Amino acid sequence: MSEKTIGMTVTGEIFQPVRLYYSVLNRQEVENCLMRLRCIEEDASQKRWVWLYRDEAQIISFKNDFHCIPEEVSPIVIGSFIWKNDESLILDVRSFERALEAIPFFDKYVPRSLAKIKYCAVVNRIFAVAESIPSNFDIFFEDNDKLVEINPEAFMDRAREGQLSKNDSPNIQAITSFLDNEMDRFFEVEKFPVHFYEDGLTSLKGSFILRQIIAMERWKGDTTYSFKNVFNKMFTAMRS
């Protein structure tokens, strides 16, 4: 098998680690909710709770769905819950698709009065099958100098600075320069807010799609590919 073969999950998605961050108000009650699910098991050896692709979770449709998974490897782990402290619970999954399924799934079984999704962190690169993939994603999301926290409010503040000319009309040159500079950036590991309760999953799904497109182009060899390239391609297609 070629070293350039893309790493995939058993359920058929491109492997890209995602960490979901939950703010918890009552740890014991959250654990009680999880323990009621037959698709959740405690893995005491690794101090985690595993989310298994069976029982309640088997209705989730992946590219390789529940009925496609060989019996000898079933049930597979599709997520891992780890407590960082009594008020912070993380869920690690191995693909963007699993993250998008996990958020509404656990929103159904764990009341929002007990826990809410707050942030998401992603690894914006493609992995080869030949690479050694750790089971603990702290290597990506903890004490990693490549991780950048994205603050949308700070972005908007920067966008407003210098965007008006002396007569208070839009400074098109300044706006174009700002967007050109910002869109040319791309970070390997990012953490950003999730607004699921206000916006649903549409925005997050779009964010994942864009990042995977860029990661794929970089995998193919264009190491400078960024949001700027994606949007330029989109605008060119719209004008043609």
Distance CA 25, CA 114 (A): 5
Least confident of 62-71, 76-85, 104-113: 62-71
Distance CA 95, CA 8 (A): 9
| pLDDT at residue 34 in the model | 97
Residue from 148, 146, 151, 173 nearest 162 by CA: 173
Higher pLDDT, 14 or 240: 14
| pLDDT at residue 190 in the model | 95
Amino acid occupying residue 224: T
Residue from 239, 218, 236, 227 nearest 179 by CA: 227
Distance CA 183, CA 176 (A): 10
Q: Do 100 and 204 touch, CB atoms closer than 8 A?
A: yes
| pLDDT at residue 1 in the model | 41
Distance CA 23, CA 116 (A): 5
Name all contacts of 128-137 with Cβ < 8 Å and 24+ positions apart.
128/3, 128/4, 128/5, 128/6, 128/7, 129/1, 129/3, 129/5, 129/6, 129/7, 129/8, 130/1, 130/3, 130/5, 131/7, 133/7, 133/15, 135/46, 135/80, 136/46, 137/17, 137/19, 137/92
pLDDT of 120 > 80? The answer is yes
3-class secondary structure, 154: helix
Mean pLDDT (whole number) for 1-30: 91
3-class secondary structure, 149: strand
Q: What is the pLDDT of residues 49-63, one digit of tens each?
A: 999 999 999 999 999
Distance CA 114, CA 116 (A): 7
Q: What is the pLDDT of residues 38-51, one digit of tens each?
A: 999 999 888 999 99
- What is the band of 151 on the pLDDT scale with cuts at 50, 70, 90? confident
3-class secondary structure, 208: helix
Mean pLDDT (whole number) for 175-204: 83
Q: Which two tokens stand for residue 231?
A: 């949007």
Q: Which residues, at least 6 apart from 139, have a Cβ–Cβ distance to it below 8 Å?
A: none
Q: Which two tokens stand for residue 32?
A: 């009680």
**Does residue 75 have a cis bond before it (omega within 30 degrees)?**
yes
Percentage of residues in the chain having pLDDT higher than 70: 84
| Beta bridge partners of residue 128, listed in sequence order | 6
